[in-house]
Amino acid sequence: MAYKIIESPIGVGEVLKVGKHLCKVNYRLQYRENTETGVGEISGEVTVDEAERMSVEVLNAMNSGQVFTLRLADNRSLQIFFNRGDAFTGVYHAVNSGN
């Protein structure tokens, strides 16, 4: 499969759980489109702010498989979930939820 990079947003954002603040994050994402099917996908890395990294609520939520809202610095919102996280470093892989 061949992909075309559409956008690579980088910045400071906020993860929302059911519309409420969960944690502040630094994000580095990539929006790419399959050139054969036209289907787009978002994936990348988020790092939880050090002050919130070890919060029990954050630790439980980030590895729960739930869908969250990631509010980007430009106020756009993405529906994402996290996998392959490291609670010690606060780095998590983010992928779009398909919604």
Q: What is the pTM of this model?
A: 0.89
Reduce the DSSP state of residue 59 to 3 states and report it: helix
The residue extents of the domains of the chain are 3-96
66-77: average pLDDT: 96
Mean pLDDT of the chain: 92
User: What does the block give as tokens for 26?
Assistant: 């630094």
Rounded to whole angstroms, the maximal C-alpha distance in the chain is 43
16-20, 36-40, 81-85, 86-90, range with greatest mean pLDDT: 16-20
Beta-ladder partners of 92: 46
Is the Cα torsion angle 73, 5, 78, 69 positive or negative in sign?
negative
